[in-house]
Amino acid sequence: MMRIISSQETKEFKITRKVVVKVMITENDVTNVFDFFENVKNMETGGALKSIRKDENGWWTCDSPAGKAKIKINQNNRELGILDHVFVANGIEWNVNINNILFQ
């Protein structure tokens, strides 16, 4: 719910967002999986991203189905298994949350 308040009136709007959730199940060790995804270059193995190159200021550039794109890891917490990044292409920015969790 978003509330807009002005000096004259208050309006509330419901915001619908499309969310994509992907799950990967592997028999690999949690540390190995984290190490794999921490290296942005390894994202090429999924097939959608090509020619990933490290750029300046922590950004990576690549070719994507949406055209030229850039990626930057913005939260890296190995202990909690968090490896969030931002993906920018064609003027649109996506926040991608990766949670590396061990289920026993």
Query: Does 40 reside within a domain?
Result: yes
The amino acid sitting at 96 is V
Return per-residue pLDDT of the chain as tens, 104 residues. Answer: 455 555 566 666 667 777 778 788 888 888 898 898 889 999 888 888 999 999 988 899 999 999 999 999 998 898 888 999 999 999 889 888 888 877 76
Q: How many CB atoms lie within 10 A of CB 7?
A: 4
Query: Does 72 reside within a domain?
Result: yes
Query: Does 50 reside within a domain?
Result: yes
| Tokens linked to 33 | 């999986």
pLDDT at residue 24, as a whole number? 81
Query: Does 43 reside within a domain?
Result: yes
| Tokens linked to 23 | 């799950």
Any alpha helices (H) in 16-73, and if so which ranges?
30-38
pLDDT at residue 18, as a whole number? 75
Query: Does 78 reside within a domain?
Result: yes
Which residues constitute the domain of residue 74? 26-96
How many domains would you assign to the chain?
A: 1
pLDDT at residue 8, as a whole number? 62
Q: Which long-range contacts (CB under 8 A, 24 or more apart) does 83-90 make?
A: 83/34, 83/37, 83/38, 85/40, 89/64, 90/66
Alpha carbons 42 and 60: distance in angstroms, whole number: 12
pLDDT at residue 16, as a whole number? 72
